[in-house]
Structure formats: structure tokens, C-alpha cells
Amino acid sequence: MSEFEAVTAHLTTLRDYIRWGASRFNAAGLFFGHGTASATDEAAALVLHAIHQPHDLPAGYFNCVLAPDERARVVELLERRIAERKPAAYLIGEAWFCGLPFHVDENVLVPRSPIAELIEQQFSPWVSEPDTVTDLLDLCTGSGCIAIASALAFPDAAVDAADISPAALAVARRNIVRHEVEDRVRAVESDLFSSLGDKRYDLIVSNPPYVATAEWQSLPPEYHAEPKLGLESGVDGLDCVRRILREAEAHLKPEGLLIVEVGSSAEALEEAYPDLPFCWLDFERGGDGVFLVTAEQLRASRHQLN
């Protein structure tokens, strides 16, 4: 009896394969943090994808018996997750952000930013009148998830989705078409602000690279499946963020806001700019390391940014 036959002889239902997959993942020491928080959630995502079922399949179906060809697809996909150490989103080709599906591949980070919660709230209370947001920039857009979700949250806004990577922008453009926002979201190849001319925005939102080199080197293999360009940013993780702080004021309207995720580099950022009044945002669903500063505050802090 082959290994596959030995496995499938005792596993029959959808629930069986999710439980088995989770056990295999835990035994293999996989890391979970790219859209799922546990081995069970990751196994469920992969099993449902393998049998062409939605991620929110009602629980009553979990006792259904899988056909032989379905079992083969499930086992193959679960074993790939172990062998390749890639996040499930890459194996599936899709991730969710702000309740929306986005195509992803290894040219972009897997969407997981807590900024999603801010978008869903239309950046309240910092934006008191959403109708006044007419120009928005998503800097380091990757898959385009922040830009597209923001366009849907602010239907009167024109949104620029900027990234230095042509491969990432190809993914973003695919998602722009998928969500039918081609008339309001523009994908722009740009090294931060370099190709944006003198355009100014009401909101600049960014989830840039912010991982220190030593930290990136020590990350689990699942992170090394993602593009290094989207994660690593120098000795202290602030190479990209420094440029954003230095250049953003010239691209903000007088009452504009800059919102940037810096994650684990938050402490290093405060040490680097002790006089800049960062407003660190709280999230009901978890997450931290996201700051807000106003255009006025950036203007007043030019002396320490240059």
C-alpha cells in the first residue's frame, strides 16, 4: 500500500483532511501569519481550495465524504505547503483584504496590514468628511489591495497605486480590473514619489518595506517566499521610511495626512525622530506599528527630516 493509499484509507470527510493537515503542519513546524493564525485555519483554506469550495463554506458540509480525486488533490496541496514552505495564499493564488479577494503571487506581499481596519472606517476620526477626500496615494502598493479598498471606501477619490516593481504592478493592475475600478485607480511605476510630479494628495497611505536586515535574515521560510524588496529596508529597517518622511510633505495638500505602517521598527523610528509627534494608531482586531502625521506636522519638522 502506498503512503497516499494509507492516508486516504482512514480519512474520508472534509473535517478529517483539515484535522490531518493541521497535524502534519504542526509536526513540520510551519509558520502561520499570512492571513491565517493557526495550522487548522491554514489547512482549512487549502482543503477548501483544493475541492473548489468557498472559504466560508457552512459548517454542515464538513462531514461530507470526499471523492477519490478530491482526496488526491487535497493531499497533494497539503504536502506542497510542507515541502515548499510557501504561505497558503501563494498556493491558492488569492488573499483577502477588507473583505475583498485579491490575486497574489510571489511578486507581492500577502495582504495582512491592519490598515484594512482604517480603510473600512474611512480613516475616522481623522477624516471627518469622507466626501472631501478626492486624491489618495497608496505608496508601495504591491498587490494594490490598499489602493483598491480605499477607492471603494472613497467613491469620489482618484487613487494612485505606486510601486517600484513592474512585476508587482502587473499584479496590481490585474486586481484593479478584477474590482472594476480602472476609471479611478492608476498603477504607477515609481521609486516612492519620483514619478508623481508635483501632485498632492489628501491622504498618503503606505505599507513600505520596514524590516531590519538582521531581522529579515532570521524570519521563518514563509517570509522568505515573499519578495525581499517588499520587506527588508536596511540596518534598522528605516531606509524607505526615512525617504517617505522627508518627501511626503511636498506631496500632501495643506490639510493632508500621512499614514504609514512600520511594524517592528516603531521603536527605532521614535528613537530616530524624537521630536516628531507620531500618532500611533490602535486597532480593535489587533496589529500595531502604524503612525499618522499631518502635513502641518511634517512642515514644522523639516529641520529634523532633511
pLDDT exceeds cutoff 90 at 304: no
Is the model's pLDDT at 142 over the cut of 50? yes
Assess whether pLDDT exceeds 90 at residue 263.
yes
The whole-number pLDDT of residue 303 equals: 80
Q: Mean pLDDT, to the nearest integer, of 233-248?
A: 96
pLDDT of residue 50: 97
Checking if the pLDDT of 271 tops 60, the result is: yes
Which domain does 247 fall in, by range? 97-305
Q: What is the distance between the alpha carbons of residues 162 and 281, in angstroms, rounded to a whole number?
A: 23
- Do 180 and 46 have their domain in common? no
- Regarding whether 253 and 122 lie in a shared domain, the answer is yes
Mean pLDDT, residues 104-130: 96
**Beta strand spans in the chain (E):** 94-97, 100-103, 135-139, 158-163, 185-189, 201-206, 252-261, 279-280, 290-294
Q: Which residue has the higher pLDDT, 177 or 284?
A: 177
Q: What is the CB neighbour count within 10 angstroms for residue 205?
A: 28
Does 270 lie in the same domain as 135?
yes
- Is the pLDDT at 4 greater than 60, yes or no? no
The residue type of 197 is: G
> Do 188 and 47 lie in a common domain?
no
pLDDT computed for residue 1 by the predictor: 40
The predicted pLDDT at position 8 comes to 67
CATH number of domain containing 80: 1.10.8
> What is the Cα–Cα distance from 248 to 225, expressed in whole angstroms?
30
DSSP letter at 164 equals S
**In sequence order, which residues have a C-beta less than 8 Å from that of residue 237 and are 6 or more positions away?**
209, 210, 211, 212, 213, 215, 262, 264, 265, 268
Kindly report, residue by residue over 206-217, the tens digit of the pLDDT. Answer: 999 999 999 999
Same domain, 30 and 159: no
Query: pLDDT at position 3, please?
Result: 60
279 and 131 housed in the same domain: yes
- pLDDT tier for residue 270 given thresholds of 50, 70 and 90: very high
pTM: 0.94
Q: Among the three residues 63, 92, 121, which one is the final residue of a domain in this structure?
A: 92
On whether both 222 and 151 belong to a single domain, the answer is yes
Instruction: Mark whether 163 and 280 lie in a shared domain.
Output: yes
Same domain, 77 and 103: no
In the predicted structure, residue 52 carries a pLDDT above the cut 90 = yes
Check whether residue 88 and residue 104 sit in a common domain: no
Q: In 229-290, which ranges are continuous DSSP H helix?
A: 239-248, 266-272
Number of domains in the chain: 2
Same structural domain, 165 and 36: no
Domain boundary among 72, 92, 112: 92
Which pLDDT does position 10 carry in this prediction? 79
Looking at 56, 75, 92, the residue that finishes a domain is: 92
Q: What does the pLDDT read at residue 305?
A: 82
Calculate mean pLDDT across residues 291-298: 96
CATH code: domain of residue 105: 3.40.50.150
DSSP H/E element including 49 = helix 39-50
Q: Tell me: do 10 and 46 sit in the same domain.
A: yes
Q: What's the whole-number average pLDDT of the chain?
A: 95
Q: Which of 283, 253, 146, 154 lies closest to 205, judged by CA? A: 146
Mean pLDDT of 52-69: 92
The C-alpha atoms of residue 14 and residue 66 are separated, in whole angstroms, by: 6
